[in-house]
Amino acid sequence: MLYKNYIEGQWIDSATGKTFKSLNPADTSDELGEFPASNAQDVAKAVEAADRAFKTWSKVTAPRRGELLFDLAEKMKGRKEELSQLMTREMGKVLKEARGDVQEGIDMTYYMAAEGRRLFGYTTPAELPLKAAYAIRRPIGRIAAITPWNFPLAIPTWKIMPALVAGNTVVWKPASDTPRVAYELVKIFDEVGLPKGVLNLIFGGGSDVGVPLCKHPKINMISFTGSSDTGKEIYKYGAEKLNQVHLELGGKNPIVVLEDGDLELAVEGILWSAFGTTGQRCTACSRLIIEDGVYEKILGKLVARTEKLRLGNGLDPKTDVGPVVNRSSQEKVGRYVEMGVKEGAKLLCGGEMGKDGDLKKGFFYRPTIFSDVTPQMRIFQDEIFGPVLSVVKAKDYDDAITLANNTVYGLSSSIYTQDINKAQRAIEDLEAGITYINSGTIGAEVHLPFGGVKNTGNGGREAGLAAIDEYTEWKTVYIDYSGRLQKAQGID
Ligand code: UN1
């Protein structure tokens, strides 16, 4: 089936007439649809629509905007299973994880629906008598949302829901690997009666759609999740227009296991964080740092468990690990594994594509563990975004923290220890936006800030109240009811 862009409440063809297909990465003979490969002309139409809609949507009261999101959340809930199955087919994650992704989207939608009755500003005394002073939140305007394929439903909701409840309008460019899930979400918006132009959807590639969208003079905020390289480029487009730019970029997230940690629990957490979603989470654990005394023990258990993980189609309940998203990801993982071997790391398991039986139909890669990794190696430093875990031995707590922080990234982090003092110290010492104690690096909840330090972003946070800060601007109000000219700062 041929799908269309969604502009001003209408499903319309692209100006280009060109299309691209969405294929199941577990079985490329399964096609999820054909989508318009749009261009700058389509983008311009969508931004104009968002601009017209802003005039009225920003005047709808926030509780009413929230009610619409509430209806949306209810519908998403009703379609959870259908959306989850579709997601597994479109990007490969195993069904129980797809359900988690959809659930995260539902959670965010309910959470932001409720924000419609808060959007708290603040009041404060004025320094002069007979004068009121307070600050309120105002929408920013027309927002470009550019989203990745790894959380095709949850991440778009992190951007679209706070943007809409705050009174902004949105033009959304979803990843070209997951257009169908994007279509289904917008269809639900359409069904609940979102006023036309408030959310517009444009399918297509980064250079043909993403770039003109970011450069468009009427876009005044850009929110992007993806690689640090693309993030830097997008930041420049935003800078030229002095736009607010929200960037959620890469990670090379460490789990530290200390000698006093619960080792069984740690192994469970490592497996889940390194190979869940086939390692394709920004929060995935890709570096494991183990204190000397338990190094061999943990590695032994971990490799044995990893070798038992079943690779396969995510719709099969017996599957533990699904495919990577496409051929170029599979090749990238392969290149990094070759590099790791050349750099002198020891390959303990995996290290090859899935080639047997049905695995030939898609893009599979076996969960891979390297030991004897050093911080100089590319496999220690680069975000691979696949099922590859690099393991390093640490002498003690301080060495472990130094190793953990030896990265340009800083999204998630974790430490396993039973020592309350070390746990508390790690919360301060680990350079990351998120730190887990005695749990892996993945599984952030929607009502807390999400984001990272260093090259993971530019200081902003998604989710939680932080998202409301991202998608609103402050307006400060002074009301002088003295009836005379009062001058602040003590001027007579
Ligand atoms: C991501 O990979 O960009 O914390 C998002 C987690 C999920 C979100 C991951 N709730 O792992």
Domain at 421, CATH number: 3.40.309.10
pLDDT at residue 291 in the model = 98
Structure tokens at 121: 């500003």
Contacts of 62 (CB under 8 A, 6+ apart): 115, 116, 117, 119, 165, 166, 167
pLDDT of 121 above 90: yes
Task: Give residue 68's pLDDT band: very low, low, confident or very high (50, 70, 90).
Answer: very high
Return the closest-CA partner of residue 5 out of 42, 53, 57, 60. 42
- Residues 274, 388, single domain; the answer is yes
- Residues 286, 137, single domain; the answer is no
How confident is the model over 44-66, as a mean pLDDT? 98
pLDDT at residue 183 in the model = 98
Could you tell me the CATH number of the domain that includes residue 465? 3.40.605.10
Strands 253-257 and 412-416: parallel
pLDDT of 186 above 90: yes
Return the closest-CA partner of residue 223 out of 166, 156, 150. 156
pLDDT of 253 above 90: yes
Q: Is residue 482 assigned to a domain?
A: no
Structure tokens at 428: 């301060």
Q: Distance of CA 274 to CAs 47, 229, 315, 489, Å? A: 39, 23, 20, 57
Task: Give residue 212's pLDDT band: very low, low, confident or very high (50, 70, 90).
Answer: very high
Using the structure block, give the residue that is written with the tokens 């639900």. Answer: 188
Q: Is residue 452 assigned to a domain?
A: no
- Residues 314, 236, single domain; the answer is no
How confident is the model over 135-159, as a mean pLDDT? 98
Contact 465/451 with Cβ under 8 angstroms?
A: no
Contact 340/294 with Cβ under 8 angstroms?
A: no
Number of domains in the chain: 2
pLDDT at residue 17 in the model = 96
pLDDT of 325 above 90: yes
Q: Is residue 329 assigned to a domain?
A: yes
Ligand 1 centroid, distance to 430 Cα (angstroms): 19
Of ligand 1's listed atoms, the one at least distance from the Cα of 150 is 2
- Residues 33, 152, single domain; the answer is yes
248 is catalytic: yes
pLDDT at residue 357 in the model = 93
- Average pLDDT taken over every residue of the chain: 98
Task: Give residue 445's pLDDT band: very low, low, confident or very high (50, 70, 90).
Answer: very high
Ligand 1 centroid, distance to 492 Cα (angstroms): 56
- Residues 231, 266, single domain; the answer is no
Spot the catalytic one: 48, 248, 259, 291: 248
- Residues 14, 121, single domain; the answer is yes
pLDDT of 237 above 90: yes
Return the closest-CA partner of residue 173 out of 244, 234, 107, 130. 234
Q: Is residue 189 assigned to a domain?
A: yes
- Residues 55, 104, single domain; the answer is yes
Q: Is residue 214 assigned to a domain?
A: yes
How confident is the model over 33-47, as a mean pLDDT? 98
What is the total residue count of the chain?
Answer: 492
How confident is the model over 169-184, as a mean pLDDT? 98
pLDDT of 232 above 90: yes
List all residues whose CB is within 6 A of at least one atom of ligand 1.
104, 150-151, 281-283, 442-444
For 339, the enclosing helix (H) or strand (E) is: helix 327-343
Return the closest-CA partner of residue 387 out of 407, 414, 366. 366
- Residues 172, 260, single domain; the answer is no
Task: Give residue 492's pLDDT band: very low, low, confident or very high (50, 70, 90).
Answer: confident
pLDDT at residue 270 in the model = 98
Mutate to test the pocket of ligand 1, among 103, 450, 462 (most ligand atoms within 8 A of CB): 450
Mutate to test the pocket of ligand 1, among 272, 277, 282 (most ligand atoms within 8 A of CB): 282
- Residues 114, 217, single domain; the answer is yes
Q: How many CB atoms lie within 10 A of CB 3?
A: 20
Q: What is the dihedral of CA 238, 239, 242, 245, to 10 degrees?
A: 50
- Residues 371, 279, single domain; the answer is yes
CA atoms within 13 A on the CB side of 256: 33
Whole-angstrom distance, CA of residue 407 vs CA of residue 109: 34
Q: How many CB atoms lie within 10 A of CB 69?
A: 27
Q: Is residue 282 assigned to a domain?
A: yes
How confident is the model over 78-92, as a mean pLDDT? 98
Using the structure block, give the residue that is written with the tokens 């000698």. Answer: 259
Contact 170/145 with Cβ under 8 angstroms?
A: yes
Can you list the pairs that 51-56 forms with residues at least 24 positions away whose Cβ atoms lie under 8 Å? 51/142, 51/169, 51/218, 52/8, 52/197, 53/8, 53/169, 53/195, 53/196, 53/197, 53/198, 54/139, 54/141, 54/142, 54/168, 54/169, 56/195
Mutate to test the pocket of ligand 1, among 108, 249, 442, 448 (most ligand atoms within 8 A of CB): 442
- Residues 211, 308, single domain; the answer is no
pLDDT at residue 318 in the model = 97
Domain of 181 in residue numbering reads as 5-249+457-477
- Residues 107, 218, single domain; the answer is yes
Using the structure block, give the residue that is written with the tokens 């927002």. Answer: 143
Task: Give residue 409's pLDDT band: very low, low, confident or very high (50, 70, 90).
Answer: very high
Q: How many CB atoms lie within 10 A of CB 377?
A: 19
Ligand 1 centroid, distance to 280 Cα (angstroms): 9
Q: What is the dihedral of CA 33, 38, 44, 49, to 10 degrees?
A: -10
pLDDT of 355 above 90: no
Q: Give the percent of the chain with pLDDT over 70.
A: 100
In tens, the pLDDT along 288-317 reads: 999 999 999 999 999 999 999 999 999 999
Q: Distance of CA 377 to CAs 49, 93, 253, 290, 398, Å? A: 49, 29, 15, 17, 21
Spot the catalytic one: 282, 285, 462, 470: 282
pLDDT at residue 311 in the model = 97
pLDDT at residue 305 in the model = 98
Q: Is residue 447 assigned to a domain?
A: no
Q: How many CB atoms lie within 10 A of CB 471?
A: 28
Ligand 1 centroid, distance to 217 Cα (angstroms): 31
Q: Is residue 19 assigned to a domain?
A: yes
Ligand 1 centroid, distance to 281 Cα (angstroms): 6
Give the residue whose CA is nearest to atom 6 of ligand 1.
443
Give the residue whose CA is nearest to atom 3 of ligand 1.
282
Strands 221-225 and 388-394: unpaired
